[in-house]
Amino acid sequence: MVDMMLMHDVNLGALDLNLLRVLDALLGERHVTRAARRVGLSQPATSHALARLRAALGDPLLVRGHGGALVPTPRAAALQPRLRAALDAVAAALRGDAPFDPATARATFRIATGDYAEMVILPGLMARLARDAPHVDLRVIPAPDDRVALAAGEIDCVLAPRRAPSEAVGGYERRLFDETFTCLVRRGHPAAAQRLTLARYEALPHLLVAPRGTPGSFVDDALAALGRRRRVALTVPHFLVAPHVVAATDLIVTLASRIADVVAGPLDLVALPPPLELPGFTMSLWWHERNHHDPAQRWLRDAIATVATPPAAASSPARPRRGAAGPAPR
């Protein structure tokens, strides 16, 4: 008999879902006045809501028992725990603030970046994940149009040099660190035995890293401003190949200092300060506003910032995108 009652059809489209809060309060309090106080209604409004619930569900739901107390019908008693669970689930879904526990979470994040950030940031980030989030995986991909990919949810964040406002990506930017540049030559190179003057620098054959494959660079711009130019003997699109070529040739390369620090020792390269003033660039973390408040995404961004940002700058706040351009590392 109870099963037949529970199968009573209910037209949810015609049911005011606020009535379910009233029913939950009535089943919990078993008293109209106390239930009214709990949901912020008057006693007559609560009684009217009970009448509407009875009509919609085809059941008395609560009836007078001994001493006038309200007693749930079998259908109402069976409904009560499921109704409470459903209301809790709705509240949790609307809050959207479920905590993210990296120690137990199983998740995959997608990061768009180039080989510069892969070399500089990924080793520390993966060590952090292995320690704190052993079941979290990363997928690092190139994004042909990272602005579109972020908005579409195809990637979670972008690691890239700071850009001009017209080229900015995502809805938010978090500045990670400022980068400088270092020159590298092989050990035994003639330039390694003497001070690297501007004239010697200009005369050497150079290796240029051009991630986008376009000619010219900030080095060429700086030389042109002094009325000078260099010979670029080799152009490659990737940072990681450049030190290996330099180690086997008489080419000189001007690289981001963090990469130079990583490769100089293992490849037996000599680091030299550039003989002219070169602008650096700012490495930033970008994300779309659709992910801004997500707890898992916030944890990922904080983890990236922790391993990438020097301690003195770790408190730099995120902000909506704006600001001046930074040159791509080359």
Please count the CA atoms within 13 angstroms of the CA of 104 that sit on its side-chain side: 3
The pair of three-digit structure tokens given for residue 296, joined into one six-digit string? 């898992």
Same domain (yes/no): 187, 252: yes
Q: Is residue 326 part of a domain?
A: no
Q: Is residue 192 part of a domain?
A: yes
The alpha carbon torsion through 282, 218, 121, 266 (nearest 10 deg) reads -140
Contact 269/186 with Cβ under 8 angstroms?
yes
* Residue 237 belongs to domain spanning: 181-272
Same domain (yes/no): 6, 91: yes
**What Cα–Cα distance (Å) separates residue 193 from each residue in 212, 245, 249?**
34, 20, 16
Q: Is residue 121 part of a domain?
A: yes
Same domain (yes/no): 168, 185: no
Span 2-61, pLDDT tens digits = 343 444 556 655 577 788 899 999 998 888 999 999 989 999 999 999 999 998 888 999
Q: Which residue has the tokens 């995108």?
A: 321
Span 250-294, pLDDT tens digits = 999 999 999 999 999 999 999 999 999 998 999 999 999 888 989
Same domain (yes/no): 13, 90: yes
Of residues 180, 160, 145, 133, the one with CA closest to residue 279:
180
Residue 114: Cβ within 10 Å count: 20
Q: Could you tell me which residue, 104 or 321, shows the higher pLDDT? A: 104
Same domain (yes/no): 40, 29: yes
The alpha carbon torsion through 69, 70, 71, 72 (nearest 10 deg) reads -170
Confidence of residue 313 (pLDDT cuts 50, 70, 90): very low
Same domain (yes/no): 168, 217: no
CATH number where 199 lies: 3.40.190.10
How far the first Cα of the chain sits from its last, in Å, is 78
Q: Is residue 61 part of a domain?
A: yes
Q: Which residue, 50, 74, 95, sits at the end of a domain? A: 95
Q: Could you tell me which residue, 145 or 28, shows the higher pLDDT? A: 28
Q: Is residue 330 part of a domain?
A: no
Q: Could you tell me which residue, 1 or 30, shows the higher pLDDT? A: 30
Instruction: Describe the crossing of helices 32-39 and 43-57 by its angle, rounded to 10 degrees.
Output: 100
Same domain (yes/no): 70, 212: no
Q: How far apart are CA 75 and CA 3, in angstroms?
A: 9
Confidence of residue 96 (pLDDT cuts 50, 70, 90): low
Mean pLDDT of the chain: 85
Give me the sign of the Cα torsion angle 133, 139, 141, 146.
Answer: negative
Q: Which residue, 47, 71, 95, sits at the end of a domain? A: 95
Contact 282/178 with Cβ under 8 angstroms?
yes
Contact 181/274 with Cβ under 8 angstroms?
yes
Same domain (yes/no): 175, 188: no
**What Cα–Cα distance (Å) separates residue 296 from each residue in 101, 105, 117, 135, 293?**
8, 9, 21, 13, 9
B/e letters for 282-321, b = 16+ CB within 10 Å, e = fewer, are bbbbbbbeebeebebbebbbebbbebbbeeeeeeeebeeb
Q: Give the predicted TM-score (pTM) of the model.
A: 0.66
Same domain (yes/no): 198, 152: no
How many domains are there within the chain?
3
Please count the CA atoms within 13 angstroms of the CA of 14 that sit on its side-chain side: 8
